[in-house]
Amino acid sequence: MTRLSVNINKVATLRNSRGGKMPDVELFAQNCEKFGAQGITVHPRPDERHIRKEDVYDLKRLVRTEFNIEGNPTEEFLALVADVRPTQVTLVPDDPKQLTSNHGWNVKRHLNDLKGIVNHLHSLRIRVSIFVDPDVETVEYAKKTGADRIELYTGPYAQLYERDPQAAINMYRPAAEKAHELGLGMNAGHDLNRDNLAAFVHAFPWTAEVSIGHALISDALYLGIEQTIKEYRALLVD
């Protein structure tokens, strides 16, 4: 069964809009786990506009499921994850000015750099996932980095799914099947929600993990976090 990791960046965004500790990011993460989340994801950015460095250290002490830290592997980011030693690091090619992640790595171009980073993280006993677009050649090069997994960027899937669900699945099938063929673990994330999630994991049941933040936190405003996690978990049962 595909595991659900809850990205709690948006909770930190709300807290930071007023200062203080409301809502309490650490307590929220603990409640997500209590209600059934199988992992917690954070994506600290240099400007700390949502998750702060101190949050990452605090969460490491509290998270009892899998802890996934996403980010661009700058010197500062790599120093942070070396201190924290999360379960997984997801390498994302973010520009600091990006509002949100909107593309995967050109792994072919950055192959040597990514190989070195993957080797370094493996020496720290951290599982490594590389954020990629649904492209077969890119998946093949991701395998060459030595990474344990890829995370398919599912923004285009979500956009197309609204108009043509089957076409959205077909767009991702070659890359997803190539990852499975190569023995690469496969995660997925970005714009997955209660409408499009079940179809994705049904089509690609080898999906190891989905990381969901914006949609899930938005749903929680209406349903409450306990019911929301329950509903997302139900969608992941093939």
Give the active site residue among 50, 66, 151, 190. 190
Residue 26 catalytic?
Answer: no
Give the active site residue among 43, 50, 66, 151. 43
Burial pattern 161-184, b for ≥16 Cβ within 10 A else e, equals beeebeebbebbeebbbbbbeeeb
Classify 129 as helix, strand or coil. strand
Cα(205)–Cα(222) distance, rounded to whole angstroms? Answer: 29
Model pTM score: 0.95
pLDDT of residue 96: 63
pLDDT of residue 237: 86
Block means of pLDDT (10 residues each) for the chain, 238 residues, are 97 95 97 98 94 97 97 97 98 74 87 98 98 98 98 98 98 98 98 98 98 98 98 92
pLDDT of residue 103: 77
Cβ neighbour number for residue 96 with a 10 Å cutoff = 10
Give the active site residue among 33, 66, 70, 151. 70
Residue 190 catalytic?
Answer: yes
Q: Which residue has the tokens 């700058």?
A: 74
The pair of three-digit structure tokens given for residue 206, joined into one six-digit string? 């080898």
Q: Under CATH, which number does the domain 3-235 receive?
A: 3.20.20.70
Write down the domain spans for the chain.
Answer: 3-235
pLDDT of residue 220: 98
Residue 180 catalytic?
Answer: no
pLDDT of residue 97: 65
Phi and psi torsions of 149, nearest 5°? -145, 165
How far from 99 is each of 10, 136, 168, CA to CA, in Å?
12, 27, 24
